[in-house]
Amino acid sequence: MSGVPVVVVHGGAGAWRGLSLEEFKAMVRALEEAVYGGLEVSRSGDCVDMVVEAVARLEDSGVFNAGLGSVLDYSGSLTMDAGIMAGSGGAGGVAVVSYPRNPIKLARIVMEKTPHVIIAGPWADELARKLGLEAHPGPSARAIERWRKLKLDPSASPWVESRVKAARALGYDTVGAVASDGKGCLAAGVSTGGVALKLPGRVGDSPIPGAGFYATPRIAVAATGIGETIILSMASLKLSEYYEKTGDVEKAATMLVEEHTRIWGQGTIGVIAVTGEAEVAAKYNTEAMPWAYARLGEKPTINGLPNTVLP
């Protein structure tokens, strides 16, 4: 068991096309700040504190499709999903929420303060209000503009077609973090605004343990990509099972992504993982998956960046 805390974060697997240079720089800064934030918390907290801090910083960045940067559904509403799990076995998720600025914090409350695993919709929002969580300020100007452009596109409502084709057409991503506190505590957490122009009420993989995230005493996993395929394959649980069989986190992640690609095709998934030995892995079959990691005392290493930045 490694005695060194480690945090791994991702900003979503997807195409990541057409970023401006400023958007690219903001993305890199947000990844670095999320890693630094999670590691700083490790000085006084545990792995759950680390994951919540890292994900909350990604939500607050406004750069990614989570928290302040969440996309809108077909009706123009902002609804978010999030989930968290500790290696000890506890898990919590929230789905189709609009009130909390940081859905990951509400997911933690579900895990630690209620007898439930997932709470959804206005009832979850009411719980957040009663507990005094900070309110979401509403959709960003960027999200509203993107929604308007998509609504004007006659090809932007492909929900009568396959789920994979629809998600690829409209865009998808999420944010996630996995952490080890170096003392035997492992955790995983994710947060998302879902698929752009999704049908109202849609729930993705992010609040579902075993799908969008999973943690055991030996490994923590967070997934990103097309939520429907991740749910149907229970990707995060499966990666943890591959790790138990192989004892090699890099090999387990490769096996998972290769299998997912055979079944669902390219452009469908990305995963990050960390073990109790502070071993890190990340794999994806999309054009890019911005991700970063560091152990306490290290500078974050950034990987998976898109190469389609506009001049």
- List, by residue number, the catalytic residues: 174
Q: How far is CA 246 from CA 135, 222, 264, in A?
A: 44, 19, 24
Question: What are φ and ψ of residue 279, in 5° steps?
Answer: -80, 140
Distance, CA of 157 to CA of 85 (rounded, Å)? 34
**Burial level of 69, CB count in 10 A (0-12/13-18/19+)?**
buried
Concatenating the DSSP letter of every residue in 39-91 gives HHHTTTS-HHHHHHHHHHHHHHHSSSSSGGG----TTS---EEEEEEETTS-E
Q: Pairing relation of β-strands 118-120 and 91-97?
A: parallel
The answer to whether 220 touches 187, Cβ cutoff 8 Å, is yes
**Sign, Cα dihedral of 31, 33, 39, 45:** negative
Helix (H, G, I), strand (E, B) or coil at 231: helix
State which H helix or E strand residue 94 sits in. strand 91-97
Question: What are φ and ψ of residue 193, in 5° steps?
Answer: -95, 0
**Burial level of 257, CB count in 10 A (0-12/13-18/19+)?**
buried
The answer to whether 65 touches 193, Cβ cutoff 8 Å, is yes
**Burial level of 301, CB count in 10 A (0-12/13-18/19+)?**
middle
State which H helix or E strand residue 179 sits in. strand 175-180
